Amino acid sequence: MIALLGRKLQLNLKEIRKNYSCYLFMAPFALCFFAFVILPVFIAIYYSFTYFDILEAPVFIGMKNYIRLFFEDGLFLTALKNTLLIAVITGPLGYLLCLIVAWLINELPPFMRAIVTLCFYAPAIANVYFIWSIIFSGDQYGYINSILLNLDLISSPIQFLEDKAYIMPIAIFIIIWVSLGTSFLSFIAGLQGVDRTLFEAGAVDGIRNRWQELWFITLPSIRGQLLFAAVMSITGSFTVGGVITGLFGDPATTDYAAWTLAQHLEDYGGVRFDMGYACAIATVMFILMFGCNSAVQKLLRKVGT
Amino acid sequence: MAKNGKRLNRSVQVDIAIIVVLCVFAAFMVMPLIFAIASSFKPMSEIFIFPPKFFPMKPTFQNYRDLFSLMSNSWVPFSRYGFNTIFITLAGTAGHIVFASMCAYPLALKKFPGGKGFFNLILLALMFSGAVTTVPNYMTMAKLGWVDTYWPVIAPYLASPLGLFLMKPFIEQNVPISLIESAQTEGVSEWQIFWRIVMPLVKPAWLTLIVFSVQNLWSMGNSMYIYDEQLKTLNFAMSQIVSGGIARAGVGSAVSVIMMSVPIAVFVIAQTNVVETMATSGIKE
């Protein structure tokens, strides 16, 4: 048994030596990847069990950070609630929107398809939210307010960006506006690659309309893109801090109405330098994203079956 | 496609309805961006009229002039912010493409221990975002003495998993293994094979990587690693100006136009390549 293992190891070593150039090619990327993407996850998990303020070495404090998060930090719970709310609404909605729009676009002639794709994708690449602060401005010069005033639907301007009741819906609306990103392009590309002869074969087999075609032929053919786009949508929907800061100017907003985990993390990690606590927040985010991704991957593998 | 020239399972009425709905929806999506462009050409008097107008009546470049004079009055010259952003974008994009392609080449075309495992790790890395790694990365950067340099922004981006994820399947599908093998028998070095044979064949893939990199790096805002005003980015400087309030609505729109025009232009140039590249990607079962 041991001899066998030893032989296998030797064979492997031989293989490794023979392919040394492969490892050389991978080295620069792999080095950065391990140093800045993979290892930090483990380091963050480790720090999350410590008290660490950078100045002194980390002190192990067990579950204290997590107890503080879930039982003492009301703002964390607000952030968690908001993040989940945003993720649960914008994740699936953005994903479906990407799929449906891409599917409809796929029927257009090539030139028109390129133009319409650009129109839908532009908000996601543009990365500008400032314009929405003029549109939703809380005085009569704000566009929405002026329209509503003109139609006599309201008598005085609504403070869209200051009123707690409107902050979250507006944030979600704008996140959906920018959600036709990488997933959307992936769907467009995938749909163009679907084998056309499958549709003819499907018609012979009794597929009568485009909805059946979608479920039985198109979706199974782009399963790879469905899985990839889901990953992109989920990961994106859990880390949307930038939109909110860009839109409301200040991430805190009124009563922290749109405070998210990403902002809570930045507050403790980048401002207060309470690194152990920040890492506990990061670990919670990691578990949420990873868990959600794994679950959705399992679910999507059932499409078209 | 179908025998009598008609397309299968399609009716003209529904086709037209779909086109109309798509166009209305598309117009709604770009409207805020068009509105930003229109507003950037409005004189102050038109920004504060009631009811507001969508398009400027007397278009003017005043907002752009104001923006540049505001920028040149700040104690770090405007050109410095511009240089920082351009440098970060160019260096990050170039490095990312070279690193990701070099790594993708053996993963796509060779069989060796650990290759598959490494790519699976890339897939897992797509499942969480950079927010999770900020604190440990901060410690690393501080230890390396990289605080207040460009590197903390550029280095983690070099290993962005998305680039490798897109590059590897594209090489797999577009570079014939026989070509590589015949080059090897002729004694061409691995580096030459990669640089002279593989890279030219996967131009659409690296154009795609350029689109995504420029998009991410160009809009890089404030970084927790950079305190020196001399090293701050354009997006940071511009957002400082915008936060001056509604009185700067015109200037703010001009800022938006400048920030969005570069990534959109790059996408328009590379659009067909992006679609071609993404067609080969997708998470395999």
Q: Which of A118-127, B208-217, B273-282 has the lowest mean pLDDT?
A: B273-282
CB A167 within 8 Å of CB A254: yes
- Domain A44-300: which topology? MetI-like fold (1.10.3720)
Cβ pair A285:B107 closer than 8 A: no
Complex ipTM > 0.95: no
Cβ pair B282:A190 closer than 8 A: yes
Residue B222 lies in a domain: yes
Give the Å distances, CA to CA, from A232 to A225, B123, B231. Answer: 10, 11, 31
Residue A112 in tokens:
């028109």
Domain residue ranges of chain A, discontinuous segments joined by +: 44-300
Of B25, B161, B267, which has the smallest distance from its Cβ to A37's Cβ?
Answer: B161
Contacts of A76 (CB under 8 A, 6+ apart): A69, A70, A264, A281
- The CA distance from A207 to A217, in Å, is 9
Cβ pair B139:A25 closer than 8 A: no
Residue B4's pLDDT band (cuts 50, 70, 90): very low
Cβ pair B102:A29 closer than 8 A: yes
Residue B106 lies in a domain: yes
Average pLDDT over all residues of chain A: 87
Residue A79 in tokens:
């952030």
Of A25, A188, A261, which has the smallest distance from its Cβ to B102's Cβ?
Answer: A25
Contacts of B224 in chain A (CB under 8 A): 266, 269-270
Contacts of B159 in chain A (CB under 8 A): 29-33, 35-37
Q: Which of residues 158-177 of A touch B (CB under 8 A)?
A: 177
Cβ pair A189:B276 closer than 8 A: yes
What is the mean pLDDT of the segment spanning B57-63? 85
Contacts of B281 in chain A (CB under 8 A): 186, 189, 224-225, 228
| The predicted structure's pLDDT at residue B92 | 96
| The predicted structure's pLDDT at residue B285 | 61
Strands A59-60 and A50-51: antiparallel
| The predicted structure's pLDDT at residue A254 | 73
Residue B47 lies in a domain: no
Residue A44 in tokens:
């963050």
Residue B55 touches partner A, C-beta closer than 8 Å: no
Q: Which of A184-188, B61-65, B168-172 has the lowest mean pLDDT?
A: B61-65
Residue B167 touches partner A, C-beta closer than 8 Å: no
The enclosing domain of B237 has a CATH number of 1.10.3720.10
Residue B118 lies in a domain: yes
Residue A10 touches partner B, C-beta closer than 8 Å: no
- The CA distance from B189 to A143, in Å, is 63
- The CA distance from B198 to B201, in Å, is 5
| The predicted structure's pLDDT at residue A76 | 93
Contacts of B134 in chain A (CB under 8 A): 265-266, 269-270, 278, 282
- pLDDT > 50? residue A283: yes
- Chain B: give the shortest CA distance to residue A84, in Å: 15
Residue B112 in tokens:
């060796």
* Number of domains present in the structure of chain B: 1
Nearest in space to B252 (alpha carbons), one of A135, A186, A275, A160: A135
Residue B69 lies in a domain: no
Of B115, B159, B246, which has the smallest distance from its Cβ to A37's Cβ?
Answer: B159
- pLDDT > 70? residue A260: yes
Residue B215 touches partner A, C-beta closer than 8 Å: yes
Q: Which of residues 218-257 of A touch B (CB under 8 A)?
A: 222-228, 231-232, 234-236, 238-239, 241-242, 246, 249
- The CA distance from A22 to B230, in Å, is 40
What share of chain B in percent tops pLDDT 70? 93
What is the mean pLDDT of the segment spanning B178-205? 92
Cβ pair A116:B23 closer than 8 A: yes
Residue B274 lies in a domain: yes
- pLDDT > 70? residue B6: no
Residue A185 touches partner B, C-beta closer than 8 Å: yes
Nearest in space to B270 (alpha carbons), one of B166, B196, B147: B166
- The CA distance from B246 to A157, in Å, is 15
For the stretch A147-194, pLDDT in tens is: 888 888 888 888 888 888 888 898 899 999 999 989 999 999 999 888
Average pLDDT over all residues of chain B: 86
- pLDDT > 50? residue B1: no
Contacts of B161 in chain A (CB under 8 A): 33, 37
Contacts of A50 in chain B (CB under 8 A): none
Contacts of B137 in chain A (CB under 8 A): 36, 40
Residue B118 touches partner A, C-beta closer than 8 Å: yes
| The predicted structure's pLDDT at residue A252 | 66
- The CA distance from A172 to A168, in Å, is 6
Q: Which of A21-30, B41-50, B91-100, B169-178 has the lowest mean pLDDT?
A: B41-50
Contacts of A160 in chain B (CB under 8 A): none
Of B128, B131, B243, which has the smallest distance from its Cβ to A290's Cβ?
Answer: B128
Of A37, A146, A186, which has the smallest distance from its Cβ to B125's Cβ?
Answer: A37
Contacts of A208 (CB under 8 A, 6+ apart): B9
CA angle in degrees (0–180, nearest 5) for B54-B55-B59:
145
- pLDDT > 60? residue B26: yes
| The predicted structure's pLDDT at residue A121 | 94
3 state SS for chain A: CHHHHHHHHHHHHHHHHHCHHHHHHHHHHHHHHHHHHHHHHHHHHHHCCEECCCCCCCEECCCHHHHHHHHHCHHHHHHHHHHHHHHHHHHHHHHHHHHHHHHHHCCCCHHHHHHHHHHHHHHHHHCCCHHHHHHCCCCCCCHHHHHHHHCCCCCCCCCCCCCHHHHHHHHHHHHHHCCCCHHHHHHHHHHHCCCCHHHHHHHHCCCCCHHHHHHHHHHHHCHHHHHHHHHHHHHHHHCCHHHHHHHHCCCCCHHHCCCCHHHHHHHHHHHCCCHHHHHHHHHHHHHHHHHHHHHHHHHHCCCCC
SS3 B3: coil
Q: Which of A54-58, A231-235, B18-22, B122-126 has the lowest mean pLDDT?
A: A54-58
Cβ pair A128:B36 closer than 8 A: yes
Contacts of B153 in chain A (CB under 8 A): none
Q: Which of residues 226-265 of B touch A (CB under 8 A)?
A: 239, 242-243, 246, 249, 252-253, 255-256, 259-260, 263-264
What is the mean pLDDT of the segment spanning B199-222? 90
Contacts of B35 in chain A (CB under 8 A): 131, 134-135
Cβ pair A128:B256 closer than 8 A: yes
State which amino acid sits at residue B234: L
Nearest residue of chain B to residue A146 (CA atoms)? B51
- pLDDT > 60? residue B122: yes
- pLDDT > 90? residue B224: no
| The predicted structure's pLDDT at residue B5 | 45
Nearest in space to A280 (alpha carbons), one of A81, A74, A62, A78: A62
Note down the domain range covering B143: 74-280
For the stretch A89-126, pLDDT in tens is: 999 999 999 999 999 998 888 888 899 999 999 999 88
Residue B63's pLDDT band (cuts 50, 70, 90): confident
Residue B20 touches partner A, C-beta closer than 8 Å: no
Nearest residue of chain B to residue A31 (CA atoms)? B159
What share of chain A in percent tops pLDDT 90? 40
